[in-house]
Amino acid sequence: MLTFYPVSRELMRPDPKWGEHIHVTGYWYHSDEAMVGYHEPEDLSSFLESGEKPVFVAFGKAESPELKRLQLLTLNALKKTGIRAIVQAFQIPKEEKINTDRLYFIDDVPYPYIFEKVRAVVHHGGNTTNGMGLRAGLPTLVIALALDKYFYGRMDNKIGCGPKPLYIRKKLCTQEEICEALKNLVSGKYDAAAKEISEKIKAEDGVKEAADAIEEYIKNK
């Protein structure tokens, strides 16, 4: 049976022991399509123009008590470090979402669009979000909610594109750990590797490789 991993080979090298039916193809999405029809809000434009490039922080729409606490811890860590950030956090109470010259809260936004506007990204480690961030050349910090997401955080760190991931399944990370990871993320030490990986990912064509593999499989049946 054909098996596909829609992820870059820069993160997941095919094992020589695998059979020919297993393919690591590269990512399958088309970033330009996600941005069609999006118009940047005026207050977001003002925020972006008023200071240094921010970090983008997002944890998706999953819900759990741990995730709610994590979002509040991350918000407090951003305030403590003073790092400018655009924050997408659906479980933070509305009264906590106060825009300032350092923080801007956003709801739905095309990731390929916002990734062009920021200097680094913090997220939960989902394969698609992780790939979009790396494709945009962004240093990445993963705060993982599950083991597969922790894997992508470990790979990001291994290829030099971000700090070691934090993990909340066994024990919620502390505010101080998040502070240190954020400062590490924007230190500049991951910028060159992230740009290099971006070029390699852009050279991949996951959709074409998957389609070619399917055609070859059907032809040889």
Q: Where in the chain are the domains?
A: 1-26+204-221, 45-203
Q: Collapse the DSSP code of 217 into the 3-class scheme (helix H, G, I; strand E, B; otherwise coil) and give the result.
A: helix
The tens digit of pLDDT for each residue in 173-217 reads 999 999 999 999 999 999 999 999 999 999 999 999 999 999 998
Summarize the confidence of residues 134-158 as an average pLDDT.
Answer: 93
| Mean pLDDT score across all residues of the chain | 92
Residue 1 confidence (pLDDT): 84
More confident residue, 96 or 43: 43
Say yes or no to pLDDT of 75 above 80.
Answer: yes
Of 32-41, 104-113, 118-127, 149-158, the range with the lowest mean pLDDT is: 32-41
Say yes or no to pLDDT of 164 above 90.
Answer: yes
Q: Cα–Cα distances in Å, from 156 out to 40, 72, 148?
A: 29, 24, 13
Q: Where are the alpha helices (DSSP H) in 9-141?
A: 31-34, 42-49, 65-81, 111-115, 127-135
pTM: 0.92
* Start-to-end CA span in the chain (Å): 11
Which CATH architecture best describes the domain 45-203?
Answer: 3-Layer(aba) Sandwich (3.40)
Say yes or no to pLDDT of 169 above 90.
Answer: no
